[in-house]
């Protein structure tokens, strides 16, 4: 038995849906489904009929209904299924937007630390490293596999449960504006920006725009961790709504594996040195209150 997150009437209210149903009950929902091939259990399951340039989830609804699924978020009701008294249809303008709204509302019911990881490469391995380090004494919830898309992020957040101590989620970016949606769903308290590479360059005017878009994962976070080169463009953090006083920059200098960490919290600098495992000495500075 899965943990029920919401009842169908609550979901309708959260996503602004028009409920079309002959059912008199208020079914509990514990599972979200966006790919009809992944149906395993029909009870407590809600299918989002997502529409893209290549596919339309509405064409799978009839087959899912015949398998026993009865709850659907749709943009329109397929003609053969109109007036079916045992189906719950939640009709919305945009099913992807509804999925993200539902996940964002669910995320807001938690007050645990949430880490959001973005970058052209390394998101999954950083997530797995962090989870491995923390799981010894913390109950960790994390993105399954590489779930970091506009669909994968809300499905990942839906995995959060009462009793979790910390959440670690990936946030991908392939088009301008996508990180804003992912940030609202994850609402990380800590943002990590691994790097920026050539992936999806064709959708951006240049690296400056891509860095600015990715930095949005740190928006309203209590802290952000990123490599020193991603400080540019000048003022980029402020322009995308990131408080520069909450950013921790990690840089690199010739001959040093890690060096040049700047913690920008006020104008007073403090110099430090630290010896890493293996005897390598590094020097870094922080700007402290």
CATH 2.40.50.100 applies to domain 6-101: no
What pLDDT is stored for residue 169 in this prediction?
Answer: 96
* Closest to 102 in 3D by CA, of 149, 59, 154: 154
Residue-wise pLDDT for 57-77, tens only, equals 999 999 999 999 999 999 999
At 56, list the tokens: 């339309």
Tell me the average pLDDT of the chain.
80
Q: Of the given ranges (40-44, 243-247, 254-258), which has the lowest mean pLDDT?
A: 254-258
| Percent of the chain predicted with pLDDT > 70 | 72
What pLDDT is stored for residue 103 in this prediction?
Answer: 98
The distance of Cα 94 from the centroid of its chain, to the nearest Å, equals: 19
Residue-wise pLDDT for 163-213, tens only, equals 999 999 999 887 877 888 999 999 999 888 887 766 666 667 666 777 777
The CA distances from residue 61 to 48, 52, 55, 151, 205, in Å, are 9, 16, 13, 18, 39
CATH of 111-251, one of 3.20.20.80, 3.40.50.720, 3.40.1190.10, 3.30.43.10: 3.40.1190.10
What pLDDT is stored for residue 273 in this prediction?
Answer: 38
Instruction: Please indicate whether the domains covering 6-101 and 111-251 agree at the CATH topology level.
Output: no
Locate all alpha helices (DSSP H) within the chain, ordered by sequence: 8-15, 61-66, 95-107, 123-134, 152-157, 178-186, 207-215, 236-239
Enumerate the domain spans of the chain. 6-101, 111-251
**What single-letter DSSP state applies at residue 166?**
E
Q: State whether the Cα torsion 159-242-216-195 is positive or negative.
A: negative
* Closest to 130 in 3D by CA, of 37, 64, 192: 192
């Amino acid at each position: 038995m899965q943990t029920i997150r919401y009842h169908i009437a609550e979901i309708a209210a959260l996503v602004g849906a028009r409920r079309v149903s002959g059912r008199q009950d208020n079914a509990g929902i514990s599972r979200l489904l966006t790919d009809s091939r992944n149906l395993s259990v029909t009870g407590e399951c809600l299918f989002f009929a997502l529409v893209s340039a290549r596919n339309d989830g509405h064409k799978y609804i009839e087959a899912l209904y015949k398998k026993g699924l009865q709850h659907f978020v749709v943009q329109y009701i397929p003609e053969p299924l109109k007036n079916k008294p045992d189906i719950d249809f939640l009709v919305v303008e945009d099913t992807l937007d509804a999925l993200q709204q539902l996940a964002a509302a669910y995320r807001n019911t938690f007050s645990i630390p949430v880490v959001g990881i973005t970058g052209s490469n390394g998101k999954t391995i950083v997530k797995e490293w962090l989870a491995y380090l923390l799981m010894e004494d913390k109950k960790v919830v994390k993105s399954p596999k590489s779930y970091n898309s506009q669909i994968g992020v809300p499905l990942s957040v839906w995995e959060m449960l009462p009793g979790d101590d910390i959440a670690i989620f990936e946030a991908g970016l392939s088009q301008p504006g996508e990180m804003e949606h992912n940030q609202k769903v994850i609402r990380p308290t800590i943002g990590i920006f691994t790097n920026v590479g050539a992936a999806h360059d064709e959708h951006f005017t240049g690296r400056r725009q891509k860095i600015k878009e990715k930095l949005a994962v740190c928006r309203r976070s209590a802290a952000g961790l990123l490599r020193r080169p991603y400080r540019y463009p000048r003022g980029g953090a402020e322009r995308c709504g990131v408080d520069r006083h909450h950013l921790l920059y990690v840089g690199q200098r010739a001959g040093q594996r890690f060096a040049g960490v700047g913690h920008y919290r006020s104008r007073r600098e403090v110099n430090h040195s630290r010896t890493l495992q293996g005897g390598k000495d590094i020097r870094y500075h922080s700007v402290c209150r």
